Amino acid sequence: MIPNHPFSADEHSANASEAPPDKPEEACGVFGIYAPEEDVAKLTYFGLYALQHRGQESAGIATFDGKQVHLHKEMGLVSQVFNESILQHLVGQLAVGHTRYSTTGSSRVVNAQPAVVATRLGSLALAHNGNIVNTAELREELLRRDCNLITTTDSEMIAHAIALEINEGKDWLEGAIRAFHKCLGAFSLAIATPEGIMGARDPNGIRPLVIGTFGSNPVRYVLASETCGLDIIGAEYLRDVEPGELVWITEEGLASFHWTQKPQRKLCIFEMIYFARPDSIMEGESLYTYRLRLGRRLGEEAPVEADIVIGVPDSGIPAAIGFSQESGIPYAEGLIKNRYVGRTFIQPTQKMREAGIRMKLNPLKDVLAGKRVVIVDDSIVRGTTSRKLVKALRDAGATEVHMRISSPPVTHPCFYGIDTDSQDQLIAATKSVEEIAKQIDVDSLAYLSWEGMLKATGEDPNSFCSACFTGDYPIPVPEMVKRSKLMLEKVAVS
């Protein structure tokens, strides 16, 4: 999903004044459904609506009515891109949808998904979550074989790679599998064709993808990045698409193919800490429950004397409650979130900045005044937001501010579908915990240990990718790609 080419000067100028978010940003959410008797466009709309947290830049839906494909995609939130009239024109028996986050300079409608490519068997529409790391090599091969690439996304390259195999005589399944073997990196895919829908994950299963059932006679199937995308339409969770698996959903039902011989699960641990919705199910339980355990573990590892515990809405709240439960310090709401604020390109004036404009979070002075406060968040990336939050708490009357983070320090960039800065922009890569505490002006700062984070999963710790904390990348990253972000030496996890 991450663009592969430098953006032009005009693209940069449109976004240059906007400060980057102080959180890792997810690439996208995907959804697919095969249900000939249903309004697949509207069901896909609601599925994307539930996955909106995974990307707010653009949204799109492609439906198939026989061999005819209907496509609508635009910049904006799902509710802004679609209305009743548009959905009525997206007719068919099956659909795939996509909601996207993009890096600066790539927020253009041409890069919105699904990516639609023509083949000898009809069109295919592909929705992708993840990031391919061998894009330069793959792009060179596609251009050598006269592919007309019109976007700057690796997602379009995957679609063209499949189309090339189809056009050389292979069927949908064989063509897709041959193409997957050429793609190195992270990909969870929902692919619509005139015959059915494919769902696939890379051999490490770095990005999530689940299967749900819809209806009973006959049973129909749904694909979604998270189980919350199933819940909203009343679909029942069946199971995850396994790492290295391709599922083929047609009128005959669901068939499974393991397209790689040595899959090794490496689910992104940040999906569990932060990205996925707390009501989504992973490893047989809600992520809310896992995040509670992170907070309890944090309370064990980094106790502090204080009067109240507060969480940074929304992602820090479960861990804050867990910290409160473990420590016995009362939990309180100290920050109120404006949930109607999305990404804005209207910049506050310097006077507004100096006055401490608070578009997203506002402190409750009567809760905080005179209190020793523990504030719990899920991560610190650049430190800019943390510093502003601490200042706001002190301005509201907090006598002490202690920050606790329910993950280890983020020291390395991600190459598998998370938009993180180059390593020199990650505060924990260049500063010690004590130096970070001084920079963000807290009385104390502590992170959850790497071991504690993984132990809280209750799963094999080797089944997760935690490269952003350790620098141990499970999929080899080409030096050319690595040099663009990896500036510093590997650091040890403490």
pLDDT of 76 strictly over 70: yes
* Confidence band of 482 (pLDDT split at 50, 70, 90): confident
pLDDT of 200 strictly over 60: yes
Token readout for 230 is: 């199933």
Report the relative pairing of strands 285-286 and 281-282 from DSSP bridges: antiparallel
**C-alpha span between 119 and 194 (Å, rounded):** 11
Task: Look at 484 and 240; give whichever has higher pLDDT.
Answer: 240
Residue appearing with tokens 């009973």: 216
pLDDT of 348 strictly over 70: no
pLDDT of residue 486: 56
Task: Look at 73 and 152; give whichever has higher pLDDT.
Answer: 73
Mean pLDDT value of segment 397-414: 96
Select from 287, 296, 305, 270 the least CA-distant residue to 381: 270
pLDDT of 81 strictly over 60: yes
**C-alpha span between 64 and 243 (Å, rounded):** 27
pLDDT of residue 75: 93
- Give the model confidence (pLDDT) of 164-185 as tens digits: 999 999 999 999 999 999 999 9
**DSSP run (H or E) holding 287:** helix 287-301
Contact between residue 176 and residue 202 where contact means Cβ atoms under 8 Å apart: no
Mean pLDDT value of segment 284-294: 96
Mean pLDDT value of segment 140-161: 92
**C-alpha span between 3 and 149 (Å, rounded):** 13
Helical residues (DSSP H) of 93-219, grouped into ranges: 135-144, 154-167, 172-180
Residue appearing with tokens 């919350």: 228
Mean pLDDT value of segment 70-95: 97
* Confidence band of 155 (pLDDT split at 50, 70, 90): very high
pLDDT of residue 342: 57
Mean pLDDT value of segment 413-432: 85
Q: Collapsing DSSP states into helix, strand and coil, what is residue 319?
A: helix
pLDDT of residue 356: 53
pLDDT of 373 strictly over 80: yes
Mean pLDDT value of segment 316-341: 93
Select from 416, 465, 464, 468 the least CA-distant residue to 188: 416
Contact between residue 114 and residue 192 where contact means Cβ atoms under 8 Å apart: yes
Select from 196, 142, 139, 200 the least CA-distant residue to 172: 196
Mean pLDDT value of segment 384-389: 90
pLDDT of residue 2: 43
Q: Which of these ranges, 30-34, 182-186, 287-291, 489-493, has the smallest mean pLDDT? A: 489-493
pLDDT of 105 strictly over 70: no
Mean pLDDT value of segment 303-326: 96
**C-alpha span between 37 and 56 (Å, rounded):** 30
pTM of the predicted protein model: 0.90
Mean pLDDT value of segment 99-125: 82
* Confidence band of 27 (pLDDT split at 50, 70, 90): low
Q: For a pLDDT cut of 90, what percent of the chain falls above it? A: 74
* Confidence band of 6 (pLDDT split at 50, 70, 90): very low
pLDDT of 9 strictly over 70: no
* Confidence band of 346 (pLDDT split at 50, 70, 90): low
- DSSP class of residue 261 equals S
Q: Catalytic residue, from 28, 228, 414, 468: name it.
A: 28
**C-alpha span between 171 and 188 (Å, rounded):** 21
**DSSP run (H or E) holding 131:** strand 124-132
Mean pLDDT score of the chain, rounded to an integer?
A: 89
Mean pLDDT value of segment 296-302: 98
Catalytic site residue 28? yes
Q: Collapsing DSSP states into helix, strand and coil, what is residue 47?
A: helix
Task: Look at 3 and 179; give whichever has higher pLDDT.
Answer: 179
* Confidence band of 46 (pLDDT split at 50, 70, 90): very high
pLDDT of residue 152: 81
pLDDT of 448 strictly over 80: yes
* Confidence band of 151 (pLDDT split at 50, 70, 90): confident
Contact between residue 147 and residue 164 where contact means Cβ atoms under 8 Å apart: yes
- Give the model confidence (pLDDT) of 89-103 as tens digits: 999 999 999 998 754
pLDDT of residue 21: 53
| Measured CA distances, 43 to 31, 53, 89, 218, 232 (Å) | 10, 18, 14, 17, 9
Select from 186, 267, 321, 307 the least CA-distant residue to 460: 267
Task: Look at 9 and 190; give whichever has higher pLDDT.
Answer: 190
Q: Collapsing DSSP states into helix, strand and coil, what is residue 437?
A: helix
Report the relative pairing of strands 400-405 and 372-377 from DSSP bridges: parallel
Length of the chain: 494
Residue type, 190: A
- Give the model confidence (pLDDT) of 56-65 as tens digits: 889 999 999 9
**C-alpha span between 444 and 466 (Å, rounded):** 25
pLDDT of residue 422: 76
Mean pLDDT value of segment 366-370: 98
pLDDT of residue 113: 94
* Confidence band of 357 (pLDDT split at 50, 70, 90): low
